[in-house]
Chain A
Amino acid sequence: MTASAVLFWGLGAAQALLLLAMALAAWRMIRGPRAQDRVLGLDTLYLNAMLLILVQGMRSGVGLYFEAALIIGMLGFTATVALAKFLMRGEVIE
């Protein structure tokens, strides 16, 4: 096997695992049962999506995916903090 074939199939398998992880997190986000479970599911979903995009950057050899992963990580952090604040206080900015 050549190096590019190893990278193509191996990283593809890693992406399949991360997609499965995203599906499980989405299941928790949809099923609940409570709001904090949904926020936790959304946080995990963000994280797995960021890792998936990072792996896609390696698989395709395009450097731009790094910026997308960084932005998703930052937005995920902000979203989860805002949602946790909302669960605690009922409003985000007091």
Chain B
Amino acid sequence: MNTPSDLPLWAAWAIVVVTLCGSLLALSGSLGLVVLKRFYERVHAPTLGATLGMAMIVIASVTFWSLSEGRLALKDLLIGVFLTVTTPVTLILLARAAVYRDRVEGNDDAPSE
């Protein structure tokens, strides 16, 4: 296995740029979590980092490990597949629990039927 310093310079720049873009997406998702006013608006924000941000970092990671090990290293795609499957499930369960709680307490915040 080669050390990371054996990567070509263009590959290093590409990996860094894609990772930075993914991190910025994750950061803007978390910023939305703080800035937005209602829960039903906030529940949308983290999906920025969970979908495109995660995908960009995973692609950068696949590129990095494929180049530094000299073979196709696709194991990082496991994280991508797993998160793509689970993120909608968790958020829909959480949103339904929030709707249920708001309706039981009679808050105006809950979306109508």
Interface residues of A, Cβ cutoff 8 Å to B: 1-4, 6-7, 10-11, 13-15, 17-18, 20-22, 24-25, 27-28, 34-37, 39-41, 43-44, 47-48, 50-51, 54-55, 57-58, 61, 63, 66, 69-70, 73-74, 77, 80-81, 83-85, 87-88
B8 — which chain A residues lie within 8 A by C-beta?
3
B19, chain A: closest CB distance, angstroms: 5
B79 touches A54 (CB 8 A): yes
Supposing A18-B23, A58-B61 touch, asked if A4 and B79 sit within 8 A by C-beta, the answer is no
Supposing A61-B68, A80-B90 touch, asked if A13 and B76 sit within 8 A by C-beta, the answer is no
What's the Cα separation between A57 and B60 when bound, in Å?
11
Q: Is B7 an interface residue (CB 8 A)?
A: yes
List 27 A-B pairs, Cβ < 8 Å: A1-B9, A3-B12, A4-B5, A7-B7, A10-B15, A11-B19, A13-B20, A17-B24, A18-B26, A18-B27, A21-B27, A21-B29, A21-B49, A25-B33, A28-B34, A36-B97, A40-B94, A43-B94, A44-B30, A47-B26, A58-B19, A58-B65, A61-B68, A80-B90, A81-B89, A84-B90, A88-B93
What's the Cα separation between A69 and B76 when bound, in Å?
10
Interface residue from A7, A24, A39 paired with B15 (Cβ < 8 Å): A7
What's the Cα separation between A87 and B101 when bound, in Å?
8
A47 touches B49 (CB 8 A): yes
B76 touches A54 (CB 8 A): yes
Nearest 6 A/B pairs, CB to CB: A10-B16, A4-B5, A21-B30, A3-B12, A17-B23, A84-B93
Q: Is the interface of B mostly helix, strand, loop or mixed?
A: helix
What's the Cα separation between A81 and B94 when bound, in Å?
8
A3 — which chain B residues lie within 8 A by C-beta?
4-9, 11-12
A44 touches B29 (CB 8 A): yes
